[in-house]
């Protein structure tokens, strides 16, 4: 089998999920005790983008497909939620599954085209589809157009305004992130995940073994879009605002940086990369208005000189002799 530029271990471990749950679970308590209440909304937002980075790593790290248009699914999920709330149909039990369904349909239809290509062509096609969503949302003048849409409220939960409570929304977001992380780790361990990994390393050999590589990749791409749509639903509810900027190519670039920073092919690394990226951005922006001049070189130097990104910290979570995901 040909060498792969991506590294994924054979037996992913669920231990990082447990550790992450413990760390995130005590944040609201520590925030209340210390009087630093801003940490709860900040980490809520970081978890939302960690979810988006996780969805991208499924196709980028596990599937070997460099998508430069993943922000389109965030934008679609956010706008579906925003439009439903604007029209008075925003209950969570409707807006959440419908937001994910819209993203799944879009991912499936665009995947039918994009997945027939490889390399730079695939990158450009995914970027083109993302820009299509970006310009489409700008043309929604009934829902704010270029200015975006301010939501009248957060999505009610069985008629109750549970998401209006920042602690409850924090734990709901945390549950979504942990469930998706644990589920994707199990998926990589499954036969489906093995086929996806095998196709990434040697597509011809997997096809010769009788696997339909295209269908496996299409299923993974569709699932990835659904998870990113979930992050769109969450970000719309947290900010109570949706904007075409959610679907911009710059946001897609940020997600790629998060995955690379954490370690391409490591699911828990994608989460760690998102946390590091956004916390570093938050810290530097508080120091100077020219923080991007510092932030950019730091990220570039890390990418150039690191091997495996933050996923090298997997030694902190020993499991099987083959290592962790």
Q: Does 306 fall in a domain?
A: no
Q: Does 3 fall in a domain?
A: no
Q: Does 292 fall in a domain?
A: no
Confidence of residue 3 (pLDDT cuts 50, 70, 90): very low
Kindly state the average pLDDT of the residues 317-322: 42
Where is pLDDT greater, at 217 or 288?
217
How many independent structural domains does the chain possess?
1
Q: What is the reported pTM?
A: 0.89
Q: Does 314 fall in a domain?
A: no
- Write out pLDDT tens, residues 261-279: 888 888 988 999 999 999 9
Where is pLDDT greater, at 49 or 298?
49
- Domain with 104, as residue range(s), is 15-249
The 8-class DSSP code of residue 154 comes to P
- Write out pLDDT tens, residues 64-97: 999 999 999 999 999 999 999 999 898 999 999 9
Q: Does 303 fall in a domain?
A: no
| Three state DSSP letters for 33-44 | HHCCCCHHHHHH
Structure tokens at 37: 């209440």
Q: Does 315 fall in a domain?
A: no
User: DSSP 3-state assignment of 9?
Assistant: coil
Q: Does 264 fall in a domain?
A: no
Q: How far apart are CA 110 and CA 90, in angstroms?
A: 27
Structure tokens at 148: 């975006």
Q: What is the DSSP string of 133-144?
A: HHHHHHT-GGGT
Least trusted range by pLDDT, from 11-20, 185-194, 217-226: 11-20
Q: How many residues does the chain have?
A: 325
Q: Does 299 fall in a domain?
A: no
């Amino acid at each position: 089998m040909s060498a792969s530029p991506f590294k994924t271990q054979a037996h992913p471990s669920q231990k990082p999920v447990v550790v992450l749950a413990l760390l995130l679970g005590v944040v609201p308590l520590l925030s209340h005790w210390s009087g630093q209440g801003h940490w709860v909304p900040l980490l809520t937002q970081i978890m939302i983008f960690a979810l988006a980075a996780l969805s991208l790593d499924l196709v980028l790290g596990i599937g070997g497909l460099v998508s430069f248009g993943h922000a389109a699914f965030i934008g679609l999920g956010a706008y579906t939620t925003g439009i439903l709330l604007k029209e008075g149909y925003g209950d969570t039990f409707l807006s959440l599954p419908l937001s994910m369904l819209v993203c799944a349909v879009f991912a499936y239809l665009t995947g039918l085209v994009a997945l027939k290509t490889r390399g730079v062509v695939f990158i450009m096609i995914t970027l083109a589809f993302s820009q299509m969503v970006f310009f489409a949302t700008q043309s929604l003048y009934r829902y704010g157009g270029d200015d975006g849409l301010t939501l009248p409220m957060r999505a009610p939960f069985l008629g109750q305004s549970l998401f209006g409570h920042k602690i409850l929304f924090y734990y709901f977001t945390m549950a979504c992130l942990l469930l998706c992380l644990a589920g994707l780790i199990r998926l990589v361990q499954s036969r489906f995940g093995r086929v996806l990994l095998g196709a990434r390393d040697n597509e011809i050999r997997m096809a010769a073994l009788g696997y339909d590589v295209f269908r496996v990749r299409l299923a993974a791409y569709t699932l990835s879009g659904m998870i990113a749509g979930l992050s769109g639903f969450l970000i719309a509810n947290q900010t109570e605002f949706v904007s075409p900027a959610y679907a911009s190519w710059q946001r897609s670039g940020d997600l790629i940086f998060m995955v690379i920073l954490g370690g391409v092919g490591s699911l828990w690394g994608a989460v760690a990369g998102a946390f590091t990226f956004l916390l570093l951005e938050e810290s530097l922006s508080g120091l100077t208005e020219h923080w991007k001049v510092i932030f950019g070189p730091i990220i570039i130097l890390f990418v150039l000189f690191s091997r495996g990104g933050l996923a090298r910290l997997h030694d902190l979570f020993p499991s099987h002799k083959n290592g962790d995901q």
